[in-house]
Structure 1
Amino acid sequence: MEHKIYSYGRSINAFAARLLPHEAERLRGLQGVVSVFPSTVRKVVTARSWDFVGLPLSAERNITVESDLIVGLLDTGIDMDNPIFNDKGFGPPPAKWKGSCDKGDNFTGCNNKVIGARYYSNGAAPPYEVVTPADFEGHGTHTASTAAGLAMAGASFYGLGKGTVRGGVPSARIAMYKTCWTLSCTDIDMLAAFDDAIADGVDIMSISIASNTVQTYYTDVLAIGAFHAMRKGILTVCAGGNEGPSYGVVKNNAPWIFTVAASTLDRNFVTEVTLGDGRKFPGSTVINSFSLGRKNYPLTDALRAANKSTPSGSTISNCDAAALDANMVKGKIIQCDFFDPGSAELAISAIKGVGIIFSESSEEVKDHNSPTPIPTTVVTSKQAMIINHYINTTKNPTAVIEKTKIVKQSAPFVGSFSSRGPNPNSNTILKPDIAAPGVNILAGYTRLLSPSGFYSDKRIVNYNFMSGTSMACPHVAGASAYVKSMHPHWSPAAIKSALMTTTTDVVENGLYGGPFAYGAGQMSPSTAVNPGLIYDLGEPDYISFLCNEGLSGSLLGMIVGTGPVKCPNYSKPNYNMNYPSMQYSGQANSTNPTINVVFTRTVTNVGHAKSVYKATVKRVDKGLSVRVVPKTLKFNEVGEKKSYKVLVKTNGTSSVPYWSGLLEWNDSKHRVRSQIVIIDESSPL
């Protein structure tokens, strides 16, 4: 077929081709064709973080096994010149490795640390891009170093966050599959990369990519690829998306995918602006690495600095380049009404302005920050009014923008941008699954782009701060690899269960969410290596799940990849799939004010041979009753399985359209936690 782009034949039986609509329709009707669906465009979703989650560099490690683990990433490429990927002390790649290393500009080749680097440009790379595994965005270098980068002491971003930057499994190998170009990624490229990664021998997949829309399981290439990876014993970890804090927007929701929310560290950034009269305002949103060197600079605002012949359509208050008079800006700090760095920072830098004070449109203080190319800060709208009054009532107004400093904060809480549940695909599976550090994360960065992303910014750094569920995802991928290094034969579901049931609490910060923001809670990798009990799942369980979701025959075959699949005559309801969390959706109304459900679960003892676990239910919302039967589980040997039931009943109304509680099994040595969530369908979120 001359229009064929890819042939996926090693793990996934499919091909990609350029077809006209009528050709696709004709192909869809041919015998033996399971499905035809269009390729969509997706986007990537953008230190002491490992110490913060309790996995210090000194943690117990199985170095021999860890060095044979391969973390595969679908991302924007990798910068091999970053020292965090040097291979000093590494032996040759593991014998199981079957991958390769593509050549390209600005790419020095692979080594014994980064053992593979491929690029896929049939779907996404525009003509002006350099087709190479090299990272021109910084995203892939950042995620790869977070998952498995070397430990680099003394790292910082111009003195901010100084410490040791490293990955969760510093001894593991990295395989980069470049599927994203200028922060866009297409389905056909990602499926090709997935097919290769599975065949290449990776152990953990880290994918910091989310679709723009909710997709069905049978048209979602990440869900399809992850299913085939699961069959080969590979756990796929995915970002949940950056569309929060609204409800119901979380992505990558298949139960065989490990879906990650972004949480904060116990530090935040403040960029103060000090007026000439001594008043200080603690700005946020940006990371200003610049020190102005002297105390006072002339201060003006956009209206005073406006060009008298401003073209029609120029936005003065946003500091639009065409709206400003260079003579009125040179050597001054300028106040702009709205946070619009894309045009203002470049414009003011070009006409020799000293710095910018932006204003947010609300009083909300942002919980994530980005580097700027010139001295910049962002204040609330109320603070901006005070500053503007000072400018217009003072003969010679002055100000100084201080270098950003770090302040302590209560943590962890889920970032405002992190996508929340409930799961838009399945109302019986709680998503996201878990929270991990994803706000203001310092990690490796490409030397092919400035830290601010502006080409006028000529700085080059090895480390940079980035925020997003993209940054949280490789934390969980690294943690999963760490657990796998201690338990090489555990299934993907067992590793996922170990991390989900050993979480710590998340701080509520007043935004939408609860369990829909953080899932099981904040990951705790060092605890997860000894979880006590696990909830295991395999391919038959997931097929049963899909059958209950209404998929059968060819639709089910689209995911499984073996042609039409026959569903079993009976399968337990999906809320009773052996998932580590429990969720049910029902309707309560005036004639039937209660929702009743019985969850059944089976746990496997992976702790001590002789152990007794007792059940406790905690943090139960008003109007929810939870009873566990039996309340005690006695084990006599490792590998023994025990089942239990959780009887849940609502009575009354919740303060939000759902109720939640926490089940904990405890044997005095292990705490095995499961979130319980009941959704009231009659009160939509």
Structure 2
Amino acid sequence: MVRICMITLFLLATQLHWSFTHGSSDAVREAYIVYLGEAPQSKASATELHHNLLSSVVRDDHIAQQSRIYSYTKSFSAFAANLLPQEVQRLKENENVVSVFPSKMRKLHTTRSWDFLGMPQSVKRNHQIESNIIVGVVDTGVYIDAPSFNDKGLGPPPSKWKGTCQVKGNFSGCNNKVIGARFYNYGFKIPNPSPLDEDGHGSHTSSTIAGSSIAGASLYGLAKGTARGGVPSARIAVYKVCWEFGCSDIDILAALDDAINDGVDLLSLSLGGDSSSYFENPIAVGAFHAMKKGILTTCSAGNDGPSYYTVENTAPWILTVGATGMDRQFRTLVEVGNGIKTSGFSINTFSPNKRMYPLTTAAKAVNGSIPRNQNPWLCDEGSLDANKVKGKIVLCKEDLTQDYIKDIGGLGAIISASQQSDVGSTFVIPVAFIDTNISNKIEKYVNLTRAPRAVIYKSTTVRNAATPFVASFSSRGPNPISSTILKPDIVAPGIDILAAYSKLASVTAEPEDNRFGVYNIISGTSMSCPHVAGAAAYVKSFHPNWSPSAIKSALMTTASELKIKDVETGLAYGAGQIDPVRAVDPGLIYDVSTSDYIRFLCNEGYTGTALQLFTNAPTNCSSVPDIGGLDALNYPSMYLELNDTSYSVSGIFHRTVTNVGSPKSIYKAIVKAPAVLKVTVVPNQLSFSHLNEKKSFTVVIKGPPLDNVTSLSASLEWNDTKHRVKSPIQLFWAV
């Protein structure tokens, strides 16, 4: 089983269905979220409004009370209820309602990583301010007994903290590191719920952001070193919304409602799902209200790469994070009896007890009674003869069902893979994925040898010089919702990350696995997202008054270029890999105001009362000034989507930068672009006389018709000899 978070919890359903009906014998009530915009001044008035709205469409007070699931009243106004189709339609027609959307199920999308990002333990820190930062993590809860969550040396929670710690079940309570813990199960009923992390995912992400420094951490000796978060002195508030079956929109929105009100400084969500509108996505809705309160939200981009249009969490007020590899890989040596040796991909914690073990192939061990259309080489349920597998290593092709191999007595598996992965996985038995050409030689050896033998060694760490590179699983753009915003925004390490875990979950999460520990190695954009959240918290510790967009801009414009670039990855890495230390002093920032977001939403087609309720401001798109450019948002990246290669390339971007570097400075524009493109910056020099001074400029892109082109990349860098303020320019032909 491949352990890539954000795909470990599969959806059993896309909506929550409810058993009671009203008004029709065959109509089933389904869970919907009714979003009303900004929260009223009092909780009582919000609750009354929710009840009145629901009663007006249900038209039966008893049924209305039964159907309401939850009211959101702290940071915004909304309610969740079980509704019939006609009730949904009537609510959509109500002028006080922004949107009505079905509650979907979302899915969950280190010792070395912070050193790799240029943040050694000795990095300069603002400890007093850092310890006042509270990061809200919306995930699977926390295993507070893990060493990463000890509160040694930390004082009481910051005075601004208004949250709570729900001590229930086996959850023993909070401390001065994990200062808050809540759980939410309004979306579906969970027996004996508590904030306790029974999956490990939430503990892993939380500790990556702000885990305490713990020497000697490892997974059974692998990745041994000091495990720590990006901001080890910061505080953690956990909001458990993800359970065995996924993460309900109802619970996600409730957690964000609480977190914003509790006093968190940043939010991190390593989960997501498809959405067609910002008004119909609980993460986008919650993040918008968080942004208005000065809270930056970081989210994982998804694990559906390398296909186009797979990126999730694409709202421009969210910092969307893709995954990269580090300069460390885990490789597993395989040796067979005739001397063949090969290095395979996996994370194997098992050490062999013998020099060699008996070896067979799936073809030789096939169960004679399996259907003809079943491929025995896949080593899946029922395909093999237990008598021919017991006590042996099995050579399979492309895949295997690991618990099946173990159940029938197999000692390990060598998997022939036509494409080598860039990510290792843990298994309940020794496993290694090897190159097809080598596996063919091993198969020939088995067929020609009376007693073939092999051994799979414990994994070792090797250096990978070709870093950073985009992980193959990391979701790519273009942005499926907005054709003017490049997503993901940035990338960070997400492959083979060691961090805290829960002793209530085995290493592989398989019931047959008897390995339990407080650390684990996992891969996914779930792991890259907390790296960026930690970096954002680090920047905030030096600039506590910076806006979310300022911190976002600082991280994006100081990011490092990737070594490996091609068409496939051009829409995967955004601005590049985070450089937290450089981001503390970015020189210039692209700030975004509320009016910028209003202009953007108008350009996206959001109009009328719904937009006014969403932004909590008198909004008439016809009166919003048009700056006359391609886009309406002062974004740190520039994206031009074209629909026909037979037309000439033409685009204009308008941007404004704010000086946060040297009071008196002169920045010169440096453009890198393919020869087929002409990129002009007007003016090409910006002179500043004081801090916080703003300067505007225009970027004009021209080019001839370009046949057989899918994507082109360019960049603009503002340079004052001390600062390099870089923005990616991405062109994509959506044909």
TM bucket (normalised to shorter chain) is: over 0.9
The C-alpha deviation readout for 1:406-458, integer Å capped at 9, x for no partner, is: 22211000000001111111111111100111111111111111111111111
Instruction: Tell me if structure 1 keeps the 8 A contact 2:711–2:731.
Output: yes
Contact 1:42 1:184 in 2 (8 A): yes
Contact 1:204–1:481 (Cα < 8 Å) also in 2: yes
Aligned amino acid, residue 280 of structure 1: K
2:592 is the alignment partner of 1:537:
yes
In structure 1, what is the Cα distance between the partners aligned to 2:589 and 2:631? 17
Q: Structure 1 residue 309: deviation in Å?
A: 4.8
Q: How far apart, in 1, do the equivalents of 2:587 and 2:68 lie?
A: 50
CA contact (8 A) 1:588 1:595 kept: no
Structure 1 Cα separation of the partners of residues 728 and 721 of structure 2: 20
Is the contact made by 2:323 and 2:524 (CA closer than 8 Å) also made in structure 1? yes
Distance 1:135 1:615 in 2: 49
Residue 377 of structure 2 is matched in structure 1 by 317
Match of 2:560 in 1: 504
> Residue 116 of structure 1: SS of its match in structure 2?
strand
After TM superposition, the structure 1 stretch with the greater mean CA deviation from structure 2, 316-325 or 481-490, is: 316-325
Distance 1:100 1:565 in 2: 40
| 1:667 matched residue in structure 2 | 720
Paired residues in the alignment total: 668
Query: Are residue 489 (structure 1) and residue 489 (structure 2) matched?
Result: no
Q: Tell me, which stretches of 5 or more residues in structure 2 are unaligned?
A: 1-64
| Equivalent position of 2:36 in the other structure | none
* 2:656 aligns with one of 566, 587, 602: 602
2:487 equivalent to 1:423? no
CA distance in 1, matches of 2:708, 2:398: 35
Whether the 8 Å CA contact 1:623–1:652 is kept in 2: the answer is no
Q: In 2, Cα distance between the equivalents of 1:423 and 1:27?
A: 29
Distance in 1, matches of 2:136 and 2:719, equals 35
Q: Deviations over 1:627-671 (max 9, x none)?
A: 112221111111111111212111242763232211111111110
* TM-fit CA distance, 1:312: 8.3
Check the 8 A contact 1:502/1:527 in 2, yes or no. Answer: yes
* Correspondence 1:624 to 2:677: yes
SS at match of 1:498: helix
**In structure 2, how many angstroms separate the alpha carbons of the residues matched to 1:390 and 1:563?**
76
What's 2:334 paired with?
273
Matching residue's letter, 2:237: A
Preserved contact between residue 217 and residue 559 of structure 1 (Cα < 8 Å): no
**Structure 2 vs 1, CA of residues 387 and 550 (structure 1 numbering), >3 Å: closer, same or farther?**
same
Task: Give 1:172-571 correspondences, 5 Å limit.
Answer: 172-182=234-244, 184-211=246-273, 213-284=274-345, 286-310=346-370, 316-340=376-400, 344-360=401-417, 362=418, 364-409=419-464, 410-508=466-564, 512-514=568-570, 516-557=571-612, 559-560=614-615, 568-571=623-626
Aligned residues of 1:210 and 1:251 also touching (Cα < 8 A) = yes
Letter of the 1:339 partner, please give it.
Answer: D
330-339 vs 309-318, which moves further: 309-318
SS at match of 1:517: coil
Q: 2:210, 2:534 within 8 Å by CA — same for their partners in 1?
A: yes
Q: Is the 8 Å Cα contact of residues 224 and 560 (structure 1) preserved in structure 2? A: no
Bigger CA drift: 87-96 or 329-338? 329-338
2:441 maps to a residue whose letter is I
1-side partners of 2:352 and 2:613: how far apart? 59
Please tell me the residue identity of whatever aligns with 2:423: H
Any idea what SS the aligned residue of 2:208 has?
helix
* In 2, Cα distance between equivalents of 1:319 and 1:657: 39
Deviation of 1:311 after TM superposition, in Å, equals 7.5
Scaled by the length of structure 1, the TM-score of the pair is 0.94
Indicate conservation of the 8 Å contact 1:12/1:561, yes or no. no
The 2-side partners of 1:604 and 1:367 are apart by 40
Shift of 1:583: 1.3
Residue 539 of structure 1 aligns with an amino acid whose one-letter code is: T
- CA deviation profile, 1:442-497 (whole Å, cap 9, x unmatched): 11111111111111111111111111111000000010011011000000000000
1:323, distance to aligned residue in structure 2 (A): 3.5
**2:206 aligned residue:** 144
Mapping for residues 571-610 of structure 1, pairs under 5 Å: 571-572=626-627, 573=629, 575-587=631-643, 589-590=645-646, 593-610=647-664
In structure 1, what residue type is equivalent to 2:284? A
Partner amino acid, structure 1, of 2:277: T
SS of 2:568's equivalent in the other structure is coil
Distance of 1:633 and 1:295 partners within structure 2: 68
Per-residue deviation at 1:31? 4.8
Give 1:314 deviation, angstroms: 6.5
Taking every aligned residue pair, what percent have the same amino acid on both sides? 52
For the Cα contact (< 8 Å) 1:486–1:529, is it kept in 2?
yes
TM-score (norm 2): 0.88
Q: 1:21 aligns with which of 85, 100, 115?
A: 85
Separation in structure 2 between the aligned mates of residue 552 and residue 574 of structure 1, nearest angstrom: 19
The answer to whether the 8 Å contact 2:98/2:614 transfers is: no
Q: Distance in 1 between matches of 2:621 and 2:724?
A: 39
2:156 — aligned with what?
92
Shift of 1:576: 4.5
- Which whole-Å deviations, capped at 9, do the CAs of 1:533-575 have from their partners, x for residues lacking one? 1110121111110011110113324643679866634233562
In the TM superposition, residue 404 of structure 1 has moved relative to its aligned partner by 1.0
| C-alpha distance in 2 between matches for 1:170 and 1:677 | 36
Further displaced range: 408-417 or 555-564: 555-564
For the residue of structure 1 that corresponds to 2:631, the secondary structure is: helix
CA 315–105 in structure 1, closer or farther in 2 if over 3 Å, else same: farther
Q: Which 5+ residue runs of structure 1 have no aligned equivalent?
A: none
The answer for the alignment partner of 1:677 in structure 2 is: 730
CA distance in structure 1 between the aligned counterparts of 2:731 and 2:514, rounded to whole angstroms: 52
Take 2:167 and 2:540, find their aligned partners in 1: how far apart are those partners? 31
